[in-house]
Each structure stands twice: as C-alpha cells, then as structure tokens.
Chain A
C-alpha cells in the first residue's frame, strides 16, 4: 500500500521530480497517520458502543443526552479530557511517567501496520506478520510497568506487577495456539493465512455440512484452539474478567491511578486499540479474515435463505415475545435474501472477499469481548494463574499435538 501510494504520488507531473525515496517517505507518513486516525476514531466509537452494550445488558439506557441517543457523548468526553490539567505527581519519576503512556500507545498502534483490512488494503505485507504482531503487542507490558513504577504509588505498582505477571503467563497459551494455526498453513504471513481459508469444505472434512473453509471449522482441535486463543487474548489485553491490573475494587485504578487528562486518555485509546487488534487476529487466524463465508453467488442466495428461514422460525415458535433481536435482524436478513435472489450482482458482491466481511467479523468478536466483560465476575489473582498454567496451557499443548496428528492422518502434510 505504501509503494502504491508512492507510485500514485509520482504519477503527477508536478510531483514527479521529488524522487522515489522522498515519495516513499511521504506515503509512509500518510499511511502511519491513517492508521493512527483509525485507532483514535475506533476508540471513540467503541467506547460509545461499549457503554450502550453494558447499559442494555444491565437494563439501563446508557448515554442519552449528548446528541441523538447520546452519540456525541464520547466526543464530548474526549474534548473534556484534552482540556484537563496536565498533572504529574510531585514524587513521581517524571521521565517514566511521561514516557509510559506513549510506549503503551505506540506499541498498540504500531501492530496495525501488519494487519490486513482487505486483500489489498494493508500497510506492510510482512512474511513474518503474525510473529511481528504478537511480539510488538507484548511491549505494552513494558509501558504498563513503566507507568506503574513511575507513579510512586502502591496501587499503581501492584497493578503493574500483576499486569506483568498476567501478560507473561498468558503469552504462552496464546502463542502455542497460534503455532497450531501456523502448522496448518506453513506460513507466518497474515495474507497467506487468510488466503488458505478461502472456499468451502465439509465440517471437519468428513461431516457433510458445507461450511466456509475457515480454520475454526478445519478440525476439532483448531475449533477448541479458537476459544483458547480468545480467552488468552482477553487476558492479555487486561479486559474483564481478567482485569486484575486495574481492578477498581482492589487497586483503585491499578497502574493508571495517578494519571489524568490526556495521559489517561492515551491508556483508554490503547486499551481499545488492543481490543480491536485481538478481534482482528481472531478474525484473521480463525474466521477467514476478509474471505466471504459464501463460496459463490449461488452459495450466498442459498445461505441467506437458510439463515432467514431459521430466524423466522425461531422468532415465531421459540421466541414469541417481541424483541429488537427478532424484529430488525429478521427483517434485514429477509431484505438481503430477496435482493440476493433478485439481483445476482448483489449476490456476487456478497460472495467476493473484501473489507466488509473483515469488519463484520471484527465487530462480532468485539461484541463478544464486551459481552464477556459485562457478564463475568473478575478472577482472583491465584485463579488467574490457575486458569493460565493449569487449564489453558495443557489445552493449548493438546491442541498443538492434535493438530499435528490430524494433519498427518488426513495427509495434508507429508513428514
């Protein structure tokens, strides 16, 4: 994408004199700015959605006063945070206190350089993309420890220490589950991983139900690995139920106790950037990334017909009560089905890979993360370690072994 942008800049007669390297640097800057803007806007939207989701789950309404249905609430909050006084505690380590939030933010923003949004839309097509993303996102713990130590506050230090212990523990099952996927594909390139998931196949290759050839449906071990990865990644980004680094009832606000204003906003920004990153990784590695769930336009028509039929039956017979879930999605799927049968062009567009499917999958995963957050109670510190070392790590190892054996038995990999 950077080279494409550079070529586009050089294609103008006026700008062609600047030279290839200058154009390349300029387009690099533009792409970096685009990624940062994406992360910032993403945080603003996600905070609003999270507040609404939590409100609905707790039988509340959420923000309603700023803008229609409170849509401008997060914008107002962001403006408020920008205007706040920049406070550095007297006894804090000033250098680390200032640098810490930026380390966290940079670590979470830079990972988006390797994330493919569609088959053409990505900043850098790296051959070690998966490794890059996993390793760079681990730098976040450095920033957390820096800001926790610099605050010179016992709550902050406890939070930072817990965060370090937690992230280091959960890196291991998460890494091993990703290795299982890499064993199937044989590549660390994220684009290659997504391209390997195109088309349709039977469920686990032998149950005759046609399904998209995503890795979550590839074999039973990868199906389990997807959930192991989701749980481990939830812990890695410090979200509830694994939010002991910033547990309000125990540690005030954990490592961000002493922060306010813009620096606190940076923590928030990186938190939602990390959540989005995890959702992207789950979508890329297990759910086929930008691949459409339908093989061709015929598949789109039949697939949406089945979905609509099931939704209507479910609404009529299982859930007679009127609810938002039964009215709007059923109507939407009905409209999509009818238009897919009437206009083949629409069906072909639905079957073709693109950013639409990527964002749909990412949105679903982010909703699941929010769902987790507003349902589950927080784990104790020892329970957290128990889950990581005694449950997830054995499961991940079993999955890795199982995937290897499966690949050997089905003959997809020759030893």
Chain B
C-alpha cells in the first residue's frame, strides 16, 4: 500500500508548499529587496573600535581634506603606510599672503597638488592623527561610485577629480593654474637670482669705478640691468617668441617629471596646457598638403587603369 500512501503524501505536501508560496505572494510588502541607489541601509553608529579617539570608533571610509586649512607639511604623506597620499608644494613669495588656517596658523607653502589614491587607501586612519591642523579626516561616506566624470569631453578644469573615480585631487589649483604658478615661481626665482647677480656686479663696479671717479657713466651703466630685471614680465609678453619657448619648456618639464615618481597616474589624466598656436596650426597644414597629392595620385591611377582597360 506504499503506492497509495506515496500518492497521498505527495498531494498533501504539494498543497502545503503551494500554501506557503501563495501566502508570500499575497504579502508582497514584506519583500527583502533594497532598491540600492534610492534607499540605503543606515550606517551603523555603534562603537566598532576600542580606542578613545572619536573618529576611530565610527565607520571609516572616504578620506576628505579641508583644503583651506592645509599648510602643506606632508605629515600625512609620511604617515601613510601604503603611500597613497601625494602632495606637491613650493614656497610662497615673501610678500605673498596665502592666508591662515582655522587654527590661526599662517600658511607658508603653496600646495599645488594634493591627491589621495582611494584605490590604494586601506582606511587605517593613521594619516589623520599627525595632521597639525586637523584638516584631513575620514568620513563614513562609503559610496565611491559617481557618474560625474562619465563624459569624456570635459575641460581640464572640470576634470579635477580623476576619471578613475578613485584618485581624489583636493587642491583647488587646476592644472592650468598649477603650471602657471610653477612658471611664476620659476620666474620669481630667476628674477631673484638675476637681481642678486646684478646687485653683486653693481656693487663690484661701484667699488672699482669709485676709485676711477667716473660718475656719469657709472650711473647709466648700473641703471640698465636693474630696470631690465624689474620689467622682465611685461617685456616677455610683448615679444611673441619668448613666451612660447618658456611655456614649452615648463610644460615639457611637467610632463617628464612625474614619470620618475609615483605620480604617473595622476598626471596622465591632467592636460597640461601648451600654448594652442603650435599644435593646432601644424596638423591641418600637413593634412592640407598631403591630401591633394594623394587624391591626384588616385585619380591619375584610376584614369590610367580605365584607359588601359
């Protein structure tokens, strides 16, 4: 009789199963699906660590830098065990006032580049403690994805956050401005050096020619180098050839420099501005010269073939 008991148990168990599924079908509001971008789980606020510091006891995720307070001391860069923070600074001019931090410290270094590679970051929180101005901190924001940079035809200014979404550029200095400032800094340094040399030469000449007592010629000779040093910038903009060379040199140095260190990925995405005259003009001219020749060639050959045929 196991045959009939088999059939009856099959029927009863099947009906039991159908009851269960129908019960879930008529209560669809109990679903477990989370429609992720529209709704998210709440971030747990419980104490996950044992430290006394507040930031250690919460969720640690995306690093954020309050860039206005950064003094460029590179303490976080040195503290990082995986070297994912990269900072570039140079000294500000003596009269230049960059500002002060929220703690009242005067900022003495220009930070041209402050990048954090979030794909390498291991969220250890070690970089936040050495910061003297408390400007780098970890936030509970865990959503690294963004569609800001999906469009590829953005200008370099718009692309200050890297297209890989995970290299964050915190300095407000855009590549163009960065190159300009670097050039400015070089100019300032050159001007300083030139001024120093001129001063030295002037002092030497003054010393030697005081002994010779030729007052009129001395004044004119000393005045010219000082004037040229002071009015170097306007002179440069007036003459067309000089700035092109300068811009090219600066850009080429910027291009080559990062290949040697860890900054390769960051700098590859940045478009360092070259003066637009040279690359824009040359390709069309070469194409314009190339195109007619090839077309005439093909026409001639086709004509020849048809004639032969």
Within 8 A of A (CB), among B21-52: 21-22, 24-33, 35
Within 8 A of B (CB), among A43-64: 53, 55-61, 64
**Residue B290 lies at the interface, judged by CB distance under 8 Å to chain A:** no
Residues B33 and A57 in contact, CB atoms below 8 Å apart:
no
**CA A390 – CA B21 in complex, angstroms?**
28
The one of B22, B24, B27, B35 that contacts A61, using a Cβ cutoff of 8 Å: B35
**CB neighbours of A414 from chain B (8 A):** none
Residues B26 and A60 in contact, CB atoms below 8 Å apart:
no
The one of A53, A60, A374, A390 that contacts B31, using a Cβ cutoff of 8 Å: A60
Closest partner residue, chain B, to A329 (CB atom): B26
**CA A372 – CA B18 in complex, angstroms?**
7
Within 8 A of B (CB), among A286-341: 321, 323-326
The one of A64, A321, A374, A376 that contacts B14, using a Cβ cutoff of 8 Å: A376
**Residue A192 lies at the interface, judged by CB distance under 8 Å to chain B:** no
Given the contacts A61-B31, A61-B33, A376-B14, A391 and B7 also touching, CB distance less than 8 Å? yes
* Minimum distance in angstroms from B32 CB to a CB of chain A: 5
The contact string, 1 if C-beta is below 8 Å from chain B, for chain A 148-178, is 0000000000000000000000000000000
Within 8 A of A (CB), among B196-219: none
**CB neighbours of B30 from chain A (8 A):** 59
Given the contacts A59-B32, A61-B35, A391-B7, A375 and B17 also touching, CB distance less than 8 Å? yes
Residues A60 and B33 in contact, CB atoms below 8 Å apart:
yes
The contact string, 1 if C-beta is below 8 Å from chain B, for chain A 68-85, is 000000000000000000
Residues B27 and A57 in contact, CB atoms below 8 Å apart:
no
* Minimum distance in angstroms from A159 CB to a CB of chain B: 25
**CB neighbours of A55 from chain B (8 A):** 31, 33
The one of B7, B21, B29, B35 that contacts A64, using a Cβ cutoff of 8 Å: B35
Given the contacts A61-B35, A391-B7, A56 and B14 also touching, CB distance less than 8 Å? no
**CB neighbours of B21 from chain A (8 A):** 57, 371, 374-375
**CB neighbours of B24 from chain A (8 A):** 56-59
* Minimum distance in angstroms from B160 CB to a CB of chain A: 31
Residues A53 and B25 in contact, CB atoms below 8 Å apart:
yes
**CA A375 – CA B15 in complex, angstroms?**
10
* Minimum distance in angstroms from B20 CB to a CB of chain A: 8
Residues B27 and A375 in contact, CB atoms below 8 Å apart:
no
- Residue of B7, B25, B27, B30 ringed by the most chain A CB atoms within 10 A: B25
* Minimum distance in angstroms from A247 CB to a CB of chain B: 19
**CB neighbours of A324 from chain B (8 A):** 26-29
**CB neighbours of A326 from chain B (8 A):** 26
Given the contacts A375-B17, A376-B17, A323 and B26 also touching, CB distance less than 8 Å? yes
Within 8 A of A (CB), among B107-147: none
**CB neighbours of A60 from chain B (8 A):** 31-33
* Minimum distance in angstroms from A393 CB to a CB of chain B: 13
**CB neighbours of B26 from chain A (8 A):** 323-326
**CB neighbours of A376 from chain B (8 A):** 14, 17
* Minimum distance in angstroms from A209 CB to a CB of chain B: 23
Residues A371 and B31 in contact, CB atoms below 8 Å apart:
no
Residues A56 and B25 in contact, CB atoms below 8 Å apart:
yes
* Minimum distance in angstroms from B140 CB to a CB of chain A: 27
Within 8 A of B (CB), among A223-270: none
- Residue of B7, B18, B32 ringed by the most chain A CB atoms within 10 A: B18
**CB neighbours of B27 from chain A (8 A):** 321, 323-324
Closest partner residue, chain B, to A61 (CB atom): B33
* Minimum distance in angstroms from B116 CB to a CB of chain A: 33
**CA A288 – CA B198 in complex, angstroms?**
112
* Minimum distance in angstroms from B267 CB to a CB of chain A: 38
Residues A375 and B18 in contact, CB atoms below 8 Å apart:
yes
Closest partner residue, chain A, to B11 (CB atom): A227
Closest partner residue, chain B, to A227 (CB atom): B11
**CB neighbours of A371 from chain B (8 A):** 18, 21-22, 25
**CA A391 – CA B9 in complex, angstroms?**
13
The one of A57, A64, A372 that contacts B25, using a Cβ cutoff of 8 Å: A57
**CA A324 – CA B33 in complex, angstroms?**
18
* Minimum distance in angstroms from A71 CB to a CB of chain B: 16
**CA A326 – CA B35 in complex, angstroms?**
26
**CA A179 – CA B14 in complex, angstroms?**
27
**CB neighbours of B28 from chain A (8 A):** 56, 61, 324
**CA A158 – CA B26 in complex, angstroms?**
38
**CA A371 – CA B20 in complex, angstroms?**
11
Closest partner residue, chain B, to A377 (CB atom): B17
**CA A256 – CA B24 in complex, angstroms?**
32
- Residue of B3, B28, B32 ringed by the most chain A CB atoms within 10 A: B28
**CB neighbours of A372 from chain B (8 A):** 18
**CA A56 – CA B22 in complex, angstroms?**
9
**CB neighbours of A321 from chain B (8 A):** 27
**CA A390 – CA B35 in complex, angstroms?**
48
**CA A48 – CA B293 in complex, angstroms?**
61
**CB neighbours of A390 from chain B (8 A):** 3
**CA A60 – CA B33 in complex, angstroms?**
5
11 contacts between A and B (CB under 8 A): A56-B31, A57-B21, A58-B24, A323-B26, A324-B27, A324-B29, A325-B26, A371-B22, A372-B18, A376-B14, A390-B3
Supply 10 further A-B pairs (C-beta < 8 A) apart from A56-B31, A57-B24.
A57-B25, A61-B33, A323-B29, A324-B26, A324-B27, A325-B26, A326-B26, A375-B14, A376-B14, A376-B17
- Going nearest first, the 7 A-B pairs with the smallest beta carbon separation are A325-B26, A61-B33, A375-B21, A57-B21, A56-B28, A56-B25, A375-B17
